[in-house]
A and B are shown apart, each in its own frame.
Chain A
Amino acid sequence: MKTTNLFIALLLLTSGLFFSCEDQVTTTYTYRTMMPVYLEMSDVRARLITTEPAKPLDNPGKIYIYQDYLLVNEPSKGIHILDNTNPANPINLSFIPIEGNMDLAVNDNILYADNYVDLLAFDISKISNIKLVNRVKDVFTHLYRHDTGQIITFKDTVITTDGPRWEIDGGWALRSDMSFTANFSAASKSYGTGGSMARFTLMDGHLYAVDESTMRVFDVQNAAEPKFIKPINLGWGIETIFPFQNKLFIGSNRGMHIYDASTPHSPTRMAVYEHVVACDPVVVNEEHAFVTLRTGNFCINGVNELQVIDIKNPYAPKLKKAYPMLNPHGLGLAGDFLFVTEGKHGLKSFNVKDVMAIDKNQLEFLQNMKSIDLIPGPKSLIVIGPDGVCQYDYSAPSKLRKLSCIQVTNPVIIS
């Protein structure tokens, strides 16, 4: 009897559950976007900047080599200081919290760093006692919303909403990497001085800072007293800057600009070498510029190649030869040796003495070394990739030897 009741109960349950029901569909849409954040510059300036104990690297941006130290930017948060006396065992020393910081450069024991609209100068002659010595106000003015002293910055944010967003399926309206503010996030992902993806660069007593459209020139002949001289309009899509022998090579997503900086406070344009839209860091030696073009981000064009450009006449750069690559991100030149990071495909090294036969002089193709950018430093080759910040002995360029990797909490992800 008992079991019969159970069956009846089960039957009722089954039918009850079923006949009242229709299929249910719920949709959520999760997207990454740039949320505007408004800040009063007066508040930012009022905050005291004091060195903090070492913090683990979270999502490092630019890396700068200065003497035995590595200075690693944590985009919009500050700068890590690492002792790299022994590249096989770098030691994390301290952290300078600098809001809105994206880039850095060091000149004569003075560290320059941007703090939203201001340029800061720190005395780092005593690494255990870093002092803020100067603040040049209101130079990166593109962050100002209006004249009231309020700035607008953007914070990478993930938002989940109910309901589908089929109408933007193609991904225009809200795709953060397609928006103008993506330049900001792109900035946060530029790595390396000496590396090819730098945005601050020092040459001949002057500091050059490029943002997405403008180059700003600072006189730093008196290192602790940087003076803002002037902005130079470059046009949109500026990505990297590389100094070489009184010239500035500026990589944009449309081509390469060459500026004559023999009058350092007023660089003048020598030439613009234009090509199809692509993302392209630049490195240079006496005769040639090496440019990598790759697909991805804003630069979808299907071109992945290494271009060698003849710059013997900087007023008329000429394409000498192009070599197909897989997905080149950054590149570094050390004498006759060129290193190219191929994203998820690995890392390649070439002897580029004969620029017409680079493809025949590939030394190594380390396919397990996924990498984004690299810096050929005086002691080691620093490679940034999903494993963190790794250093390699490249005294024998045809045979890289791993020395160490600095762990990173949020390493780059290569898709």
Chain B
Amino acid sequence: MRSKVFCLILLLFFSYVRSLAQENAYFHQTEVGFLWGKGIKNWDGNYLNRMDVSISTFHGVKISSHHVLGFAVGYDQYDQISLIPIALGWRGFLGKENKAQLFGGMDFGGGSTFLEKKETNQWSSSWYEGGMMIHPMLGVKLPAKKGNWALSASLGYKRQQLSYFQGFLDGSGQSSFAPTTGSRLPSGFTSLNETNYLFHSLVFRMGVMF
């Protein structure tokens, strides 16, 4: 149901964007870069740092000469885990148009884990669930000499939640168990390990805007 609603919103949004694009109100930004983070402390007290790829594409509507509202989808890698961040976003520009500009932005949304397959065997099941994501950023926009194009580079902070679940199935195959309602144990499981990750990442990305 949720995905249906989401698809519908996307569809409406794209149709709206298409109509706006003709009026030059459409704004687009695609960037590729990396996420860097200080991982958890290792057994010897050192940190295991992360350095992974991050891609984002932002589609928006110019609501005034300096402000854009829209949404972003992308791809973030956190060690072995691939996330699809989906967010609503804002971009604000400082300076004159057609000159180098500073910009700030804020993406707010969640990460989807649909690239990570749920693994289930006879005894257990494990899966990921994405969580909330906030990504404030600062960047520069360097317009091309001709046309609408501009190079962009941004530096930001990304806060991403992620959960990993590993549960053991009720082998009796016929469990029905009242206390599970409202508890943290999904029905059909006898135990569940829930690991919640909170990733703090420095994000550096470069790309184009138009």
17 A-B pairs with C-beta separation under 8 A? A7-B102, A15-B157, A18-B157, A21-B38, A25-B197, A28-B193, A29-B191, A30-B191, A156-B179, A158-B179, A171-B190, A176-B190, A189-B176, A300-B171, A372-B174, A415-B169, A415-B175
Chain A nearest CB from B94 CB (Å) reads 5
B168 sits at the interface (CB 8 A): yes
Q: Evaluate whether A32 and B172 lie within 8 angstroms (CB atoms) in the complex, with A14-B156, A24-B198 already known.
A: no
B40 sits at the interface (CB 8 A): yes
Interface residues in B34-81 by Cβ distance below 8 A to A read 37-41, 47, 50
- B interface bracket (residues with beta carbon within 8 Å of A): 35 or more
Q: Decide: B171 and A23 in contact? CB cutoff 8 A.
A: no
Q: Decide: A18 and B137 in contact? CB cutoff 8 A.
A: no
B188 sits at the interface (CB 8 A): yes
Q: Mark B177-192, 1 if CB is under 8 A from A, else 0.
A: 1111101110111111
Q: Evaluate whether A18 and B202 lie within 8 angstroms (CB atoms) in the complex, with A13-B136, A31-B190 already known.
A: yes
Complex CA–CA separation, A175 to B194 (angstroms): 16
Q: Decide: A414 and B193 in contact? CB cutoff 8 A.
A: no
B196 sits at the interface (CB 8 A): yes
Q: Which residues of chain B have a CB within 8 Å of any CB of chain A?
A: 37-41, 47, 50, 92, 94, 102, 104, 122-123, 136-138, 155-157, 159, 168-181, 183-185, 187-202
Complex CA–CA separation, A18 to B198 (angstroms): 12
Q: Decide: A30 and B194 in contact? CB cutoff 8 A.
A: yes
Surface stretch bound by B, among A63-71, A242-250, A353-361, A405-413 = A405-413
Q: Mark A119-131, 1 if CB is under 8 A from B, else 0.
A: 0000000000000
Q: Decide: B177 and A171 in contact? CB cutoff 8 A.
A: no
Q: Mark A381-415, 1 if CB is under 8 A from B, else 0.
A: 00000000000000000000000000000111111
Complex CA–CA separation, A217 to B161 (angstroms): 60
A22 sits at the interface (CB 8 A): yes
Within 8 Å CB of B40, what residues of A? 22-25
Within 8 Å CB of A26, what residues of B? 195-196, 198
The 6 closest A-B pairs by CB, nearest first: A21-B200, A31-B191, A297-B172, A22-B38, A24-B198, A18-B157
A160 sits at the interface (CB 8 A): yes
Q: Decide: A25 and B196 in contact? CB cutoff 8 A.
A: yes
Within 8 Å CB of B187, what residues of A? 413
Partner of A32, one of B156, B185, B199: B185
Q: Evaluate whether A415 and B136 lie within 8 angstroms (CB atoms) in the complex, with A30-B185, A59-B176 already known.
A: no
Q: Decide: B174 and A412 in contact? CB cutoff 8 A.
A: yes
A40 sits at the interface (CB 8 A): no
Q: Decide: A58 and B178 in contact? CB cutoff 8 A.
A: yes
Q: Decide: A171 and B180 in contact? CB cutoff 8 A.
A: no
Within 8 Å CB of B183, what residues of A? 30, 158, 160
Most buried by A among B174, B187, B199: B174
Q: Decide: A27 and B194 in contact? CB cutoff 8 A.
A: yes
Q: Mark A355-374, 1 if CB is under 8 A from B, else 0.
A: 00000000000000000100
